[in-house]
Amino acid sequence: MKTKSVKEPIRKKWIWIVLFINVVLIVPWYFPKGAVEPFVFGFPLWAFISTFFTLILGAYLSWLCISQWNIVEDEEENAKRKEDVKHG
């Protein structure tokens, strides 16, 4: 199994740049102070946008975990399969 490619999030700069931008967009520092209107689904606009980016953050992190992280997984799963075959 020498063909494996190690995927580790820390080594990919774009992951952290996107993460940083996402976080900056969550905090409502860029709205004019005190603004309330308009309402979207009962949320003031700023809160709606902040929540939207918070949900994006969750989706992004969830996706990162699954697709950008693979260090020993192939090794472990292969070993497990062999183990199963032995006992199976």
Partner 1 sequence: MDNLVFAGMDGIIILSVFAIVMLVIGYYSGKGDTNLHHSLSGYYLAGKNLGFIALFFTLYATQYSGNTIVGYAPTGYRTGFSWLQSISFMTIIIGIYLLFAPRLYVVSKRRNFVTPTDWLEFRFKSKAVTLLSIFLMLWGLGNYLLEQLVAIGQAVAGMTGGTIPYEIAVVVFVLVMLAYEWMGGMKAVAFTDVMQGIVLMIGIFVFLAGALYLVGGNFAEVTRFIADNEPAKLGVPEMEVSVNWFSMLVLVGLGASIYPHAVQRIYSAESERTLKKSFARMAWMPPITTGLVFVVGIIGIMLFPGLDTAGSEQLVGLMANKIAAINGFYYWMMIIFFGGIVAAIISTADSVLLSFSSMLSNDVYGKFVNPGATEYKKVMVGKIGGIIAIFFLLIIAWNPPGTLYQIFVLKFELLVQVFPAFVLGLYWKRLAAKPVFWGMLIGAIVAGLLTLTGYKTVFGIHGGVIGLTINFVVCIVGSMLVTVSAEKSLKKDELAVLELEA
Interaction site with partner 1 (CB under 8 A): 6, 8-10, 15, 19, 23, 26-29, 31-36, 39, 41-44, 46-47, 50-51, 54-55, 57-59, 61-66, 69-73, 76-77, 80
**Taking Cα atoms as reference points, which of 21, 10, 28 lies closest to residue 60?**
21
Q: How far is the CB of 88 from partner 1 (least distance, A)?
A: 18
> Which residues does 39 contact at the CB level (< 8 Å), separation at least 6?
45
- Least Cβ distance, residue 86 to partner 1 (angstroms): 17
Residue that the structure tokens 């190690």 belong to: 6
CB closer to partner 1, 10 vs 85: 10
Residue pair 74/4 in contact (Cβ under 8 Å)? The answer is: yes
